[in-house]
Amino acid sequence: MFETLAAPKEDAIIALMQAYAADPRPDKIDLGVGVYRDERGHTPVMAAVKAAEAQILQAQDSKSYLSLAGDAAFLNAMESLLLGGAVPSARVAAVGAPGGTAAVRQICELIRKARPEAVIWVSAQTWPNHLPLITAAGLQTRPYRYLAPEGGLDQAAMFADLEHVRAGDVVLLHGCCHNPTGVDLVAQDWAEIGALLSRRGAVPFIDMAYQGFGEGLDADAGGLRHLAARLPEVLVAASCSKNFGLYRERVGIAMAIVDATQRSNLAAVLAGLNRQNFAFPPDHGARVVSTILGDVALRHQWESELAEMRNRVQTNRRALAEALRDETGSDRFAGVGAEQGMFSLLPLSPEEVQRLRVEHGVYLLDDGRANMAGLSVRNSTACARAIASVTR
């Protein structure tokens, strides 16, 4: 029965992870997959996570099933982390999901169930897994322009494209730390998007995978909170992989902000989608998150560790931008210093990216996406030198 199956097209991020792992060069540099790394290139377990895990280990006396939506303490804590009270809880239906990826998938399934003909508008540059996830859920996509050819947000083009959004369509927006460009919307853009979607009767879908890696926990959720407070329906998929460093534990949340009269029905539909796909969401990582967010001292510790990670990534950005200016003698890479979050899209051709990999052991995605967390004081000059040599 399997003769007709073709292996899927390789996922660019996963393939790069494997190629990096197989490279024996000791001075190789990993700017590929979006995980945080410390100065030594290690992805540590956060101290607040370790402390929460110790508490859980002590106190937990059962591993029996919870509800299909997951643990209520996790859902409530995440609601307040994401929404900060911008909307009443009576409007929020949410379920846990195995990571931000599954949260995106569950929201797509929800859209498909409610409105199969909806078009999902996706920024022209986006996370490589967005389109496969959306199309696997049976939905159609259309791109809207995002990045200007010279770098920065192409606001005029983005709004011109979004003028074609129809009532009932869905617009996918990166909550913060746009992946792959690092170019974020500012308050004015969010306000204009809110007005446009409201006028056209379309629904925003916020993918929040890096809250806390841009400007800070509250500032990074500003756009989401603005839309949630002003629009009747908002969809959210959020991940705790990066800001809690819980990558392999798979901690995510899928949320629909709706009219209070529809909340309990929506919560039941979301729980039904969980049942259909994986039944109960994983609990351990979600419990770590609710333990941290529910304890003043642990939360404080977590926030300061997160601030340290954010600052390290920003320091790396500035160091790379400066080194690139010095090594190339041009402002071609100036955007890197000003962008937000883990990623920037370096203006490099696929051939230049290939040469960086083969000749210098510097790994980034073919489109030029580079994870700033993979840099260190030690290697940013070497990295800039390698980039300068392939672009000369």
**Residue numbers at the binding site for ligand LMR (CB under 6 A):** 13, 33-34, 127, 129, 179
The pair of structure tokens assigned to 374 is 């993979």
Shortest spacing between CB 96 and ligand LMR, in angstroms: 18
User: For residues 184 and 178, is the Cβ–Cβ distance under 8 A?
Assistant: yes
Per-residue buried b or exposed e for 255-267, using 16+ beta carbons within 10 Å of the residue's own CB: bbbbeeeebeebb
Is position 127 annotated as part of the catalytic site?
yes
Determine the Cα–Cα distance for residues 36 and 71; give it in Å rounded to an integer: 27
Nearer CB in complex with ligand LMR: 74/127 = 127
Q: Select which of 184, 207, 220, 283 is catalytic.
A: 207
Which residue lies nearer to ligand LMR by CB, 127 or 190? 127
13 versus 73: smaller Cβ distance to ligand LMR:
13
Give 133's strand partners.
none
Minimum distance of ligand LMR from residue 127's CB (angstroms):
5
Nearer CB in complex with ligand LMR: 248/275: 248
Identified catalytic residue from 77, 97, 209, 267: 209
Check if 242 is active-site.
yes
Residue 96, strand partner residues = 253
Cα 252 from Cα 56, distance rounded (Å): 19
In the complex, the smallest distance separating the C-beta of residue 57 from ligand LMR, rounded to whole angstroms, is: 28
Least distance from ligand LMR to the Cβ atom of residue 32, Å: 7
Q: How many residues appear in the chain?
A: 392
Is residue 204 within 8 Å of 235, Cβ to Cβ? yes
Distance CA 283, CA 272 (A): 18
My answer on whether omega of the bond before 98 falls inside 30° of 0, hence cis, is no
Q: Does 63 participate in catalysis according to the annotation?
A: no
Instruction: Determine which one of 102, 118, 121, 127 is catalytic.
Output: 127
Tell me, yes or no, if 94 is annotated catalytic. no
The C-alpha atoms of residue 391 and residue 353 are separated, in whole angstroms, by 10
Rank residues 184 and 233 by Cβ distance to ligand LMR and give the closer one.
184
Catalytic residue, from 202, 242, 283, 386: name it: 242
Nearest to 255 by CA among 272, 242, 238, 268: 238
Q: Least distance to ligand LMR from the beta carbon of 244, Å?
A: 14
Active-site positions read: 127, 207, 209, 242
